Chain A
Amino acid sequence: MKILVCISQAPDTTSRIAFTDGGKTFDSTGVQYIVNPYDEWYALVRGIELKEAHGGTVTTITVGGAVCDPVIRKALAIGADDAVRVDAEPTDAMQTAELIASYAKNQAFDLILCGKETIDHNGSLVPAMVAEMLDWPFIALATHLEVEGIEASLKRESAGGTEHVKVNLPLVLSASKGMAEQRIPNMRGIMSARSKPLNVEQGEAAAMSSVRQFSLPPEKGACKIIPADQAEELIRLLREEAKAI
């Protein structure tokens, strides 16, 4: 099985979020970058498990500059065979998807595994766009994936529960929690990652959206503390003051 995993980098989940340039640019001072958790924990690990079970290869693809190389090496250390970096500044989902789709088009992949969303843009857009560009089926929010011959059996989050669905390969999916368990790279993985191929490709595509302005949510007012032995008072306040129940 020939598997492509879409890997993006994201600011560490504990990063302080701030902006410079009058709210136009994310302030990356002191920010540690990680592999986007959905891509690493779920998409990549499931890809590697399938390769271990059925044979084949796992290639990662990242749209971004050389700053992404450390997170790409992390993905290789976890167990991907090789990596591609499309050397372009990711601007919006349409552009990123087009760069991924044009790379994937002539490579005969059976599966393209993406994360549910990036934790910085929170788009959830790239995976389905890639599927449409390739005219492949797409499963959003997949929590389970098995492959048998050319048939994939999946579970996905849907309204009020989990749907079971079957679809023939090739296939694009976005992976959500439940798909796999996080893997910590071992020493051998880290050593071998250094010599695995990281191919840099050139590419160009047009973006259709851009951020005009970032802002931070308003600060919360003070928290009203209700004594534990008057817990009933909270319910009265929720009804009469907050009008929440």
Chain B
Amino acid sequence: MSVLAIVSLKNGQPTKGGLEAASYAAAYAQAQGVEAVALVAGPMQSDGGLGATGIVRVLHCATELSDSSQWARLADAASKECGASGVVLTHDHTGRAIGPRLAVRLQAGMVSGVTELPNAGAVRKNVFSGKAMADVEVSSNTVVYSVTPNAFGVRDGGGTAEVSAFSAEVGEARERVTGFDPASADGQTPLPEADLVVSAGRGLKGPENWGIVEDLAKALGATTACSRPVSDIGWRPHHEHVGQTGITIRPNLYIAAGISGAIQHLAGVNQSKVIVVINTDPEAPFFKAADYGIVGDAFEVLPRLTAAVKALDA
């Protein structure tokens, strides 16, 4: 018996989400007294640091796959090979495309976006876009879980995992990837994985004013985000839109400047560990959801914060 983590690679290394899935799988396996195994596909150096998360064995498929149907077949074969009673993925595009396909193949119940380890036969996830939580029970013998980014963290126990070559009949690729546009030229952490996020709303008045937002983000090493109207009117790209109908995030720190804190916005960000709100209006609803607040003009406050961050590291 085992728990199998499906780990995606980027530039030959597990992604942060992949390491989180591995950490979750290792902790879940440990709780049940079974082995933690990881499956990777594509070139990877030694164990890719997966042993440190508590993974004991890595099944390494040398061929890179991007097709969800091929991945599901590979993961199906891997879970049979290691007798998996649970399969863990990240709740990103892989967890959304591969996980449900695999669940169908394994005839396993799947719970997506889990935030904690299973407890007394149920596993917790966010529902109603972060406005509530649900403890979900699965009735099948095998379960598939996808873990919410930044919810569980990466374990670092210092072990190494045994790597063995693995392959399976995965059929033909049907998707042909023809191009890639990076979200940002300067290598910001993708929003769902970011620990630190600086976000701004209509209070910034226009796209030409975003320099002060980007400066603070840069000083902190944070990723930039925005409210929905800001991306709707084209001040910022769609992939920065957070909230109920955008991306749901749970960074360590979320700084919101010139955002009123509408219920649909809060839904996507209220799981952030620390929330800072900067708004000229002391009555802005966002202050009710904040840990720290500054009642003031973003045009004055943001540059001061940037300077203070730079002074901190000087």
Contacts and interface: CB of A to CB of B under 8 A. Distances in A.
Contacts of B227: none
A181 B235 CA distance: 16
Given A14-B263, A235-B312, A128 B68 contact: yes
B174 to A, nearest CB: 4
Interface stretch (A1-9, A69-77, A194-202, A206-214): A206-214
B203 interface: no
Interface string A15-53: 001010000000000000000011001000000000000
A160 B293 contact: no
B309 A164 contact: no
Q: How many interface residues does chain A have, given as a range?
A: 35 or more
Contacts of A149: none
Given A157-B239, A214-B133, A244 B253 contact: yes
Contacts of A227: 294
A163 B15 CA distance: 17
Nearest to B246: A177
A123 B139 CA distance: 17
Contacts of B246: 177
A20 to B, nearest CB: 13
Given A143-B238, A159-B10, A212 B100 contact: no
Contacts of B287: 223, 225
B132 A17 contact: yes
Given A120-B128, A161-B181, A242-B274, A224 B100 contact: no
B130 to A, nearest CB: 8
Interface stretch (A55-63, A82-90, A105-113, A134-142): A134-142
A228 B244 CA distance: 30
A217 B111 CA distance: 19
Interface in B114-154: 122, 125-140
B314 interface: no
B8 A94 contact: no
Contacts of A212: 122, 135-137
A237 B292 contact: yes
Given A226-B294, A232-B304, A245-B309, A214 B127 contact: yes
B104 A161 contact: no
Interface in A115-160: 119-129, 131-133, 135, 137-141, 143, 153, 156-160
A235 B113 CA distance: 32
Interface string A219-245: 011011111100110111111001011
A178 B109 contact: no
A11 B244 CA distance: 12
Contacts of A226: 292-294
B225 interface: no
Q: Which of the listed residues A41, A220, A228, A235 has the most CB atoms from chain B within 10 Å of its own CB?
A: A235
A159 B292 contact: no
B255 to A, nearest CB: 9
A220 B275 CA distance: 10
B105 A132 contact: yes
Given A137-B174, A223-B277, A231 B294 contact: yes
A221 B291 contact: yes
Contacts of B53: none
Given A129-B104, A210-B137, A238-B253, A123 B291 contact: no
Contact of A166 (B103, B176, B264, B295): B176
A228 B295 contact: yes
B133 A215 contact: yes
B241 interface: yes
A245 B175 CA distance: 41
Interface of A: 11, 13-14, 17, 19, 37-38, 41, 92-94, 97, 119-129, 131-133, 135, 137-141, 143, 153, 156-168, 174, 177-178, 207-217, 220-221, 223-228, 231-232, 234-239, 242, 244-245
5 contacts: A37-B244, A97-B104, A126-B100, A209-B137, A244-B253
7 pairs of A and B residues whose beta carbons are closest in the complex: A228-B296, A208-B109, A164-B179, A128-B100, A132-B101, A232-B308, A231-B304
